[in-house]
Structure 1
């Protein structure tokens, strides 16, 4: 590890120099089509999450714990895509691939905070589904407003703490050589490859942190759904079993999308990581997943579709007056 007293020039250079984001697309015809597809997905994700937030907060029938959690999930997805895609698009269109040192730090902090918070919230939402199916008569007692605020607050708190730790640690390393980040946004593992200091200790800490932030909520999901499955099997009515499984299907789909990509990125040993693979999978859960989540929770949910129809009917009626 380099002595911090001897890092003065390097630290000064790190603080004033820009990083270069190599991106994921070139300006070939194929990549232009793919970039256009990303912009379409971004637009759909933006519209879908904003619409879902509007429906949840404007329709009294959606003022329940599950939709309260879903509103925060949509807000996290909305903020995540706005943290990543606009800068990526600006760099691609203007062929200006630089990002400032401070901008890189902000992007890291927001990205880690949002991904960590969303992972924990998805895990704790499994507990909500467990209570709804296993203790339906006590649901509103066990999932009181206080409990819901504690679940959401703890998700944001742990995610924010994780983000602060990673951004402070990553931004204090000296970057005195190449400043080309082989990614389309400032991601900590890609950035650490440019550090002119021994990062092995922080790499180990980062891996341990990722394991904790992924496996803790994942263990809550497994435990909750194990009890849910036991309760569903013991139900006498096929209709009741179908209703219970339908209640969980949207959450399971969102969990599969998020944890499948996140575990592939962060739980692989370093020697098996390839920048090309990481960029493609990162594109999946930073752009595609935020688009799919509102679609999963709206198209597969009668209450959300009912609220949407009411708003559309009211809008048509107002227009006809």
Structure 2
């Protein structure tokens, strides 16, 4: 089988489990654990990577243009080459389908701007407030389900952990809901919005595949239904707050995966939902998209922050 716009010879493989066709098109082997039991029609393709979201949604792929997203919200923004009239501002690539904050920085002065100048980059209003990642189930541009995760930053593009809230966030849902209905008519599927202070800084035609286990039983099946039947049906009455705790280590030469025994010990800890070892042993570190502040080696999804912190400490001894 060939995916739309993509040959099977690339590194992404379509998940199969016990002969069942699995719908989620996942490049990261550490996240296949979340989708191995879900079956769907063979002609359904659900992206988890921005490259697939861009390829398979030509009418709405413009959302990956961060300059357009900024100006659609009446934010001050321009490409490099048009200097800011006031500082500070935030500078980043206009397009970055690899994520991880690559090439992003705060500019505090004209000297900063001159030093940071890059073709294909932009600057925009420096926003303040919580950095939130929101997954949205959208039917014809209308949001039908929201889930919000607040990122606790630890510097230079890295995060200490994400808190996946059980509660609604009306400030985000009101502003972003109006934006979706105005700009995404005709789109049905998952949408991931990154916001700071309630304003959109990035939009992705996919969901955050870092923590689907924290969304609750039946969520992956509802995801398949959204793409297969253009309907959103999910009993979310049992939602609870969860945490996604991240382990970053210094950039350096090759790291090795923790031994299987250590990984199993982490997974057996009370209130730990899942463990991801988030790098390829057989690839040079430079082949991984990582922020300036560190190299991400593990993610622990859990139901209490204490459990995630304890698990991270166990893993840190291996990478130290």
Query: Same fold, TM exceeding 0.5?
Result: no
Comparing both structures, which one devotes a greater share of its residues to strand?
A: 2
Comparing both structures, which one devotes a greater share of its residues to helix?
A: 1
TM-score, scaled to structure 1: 0.24
Larger radius of gyration: 1
Q: Which has the higher contact order (CA 8 A, sep 6+)?
A: 1
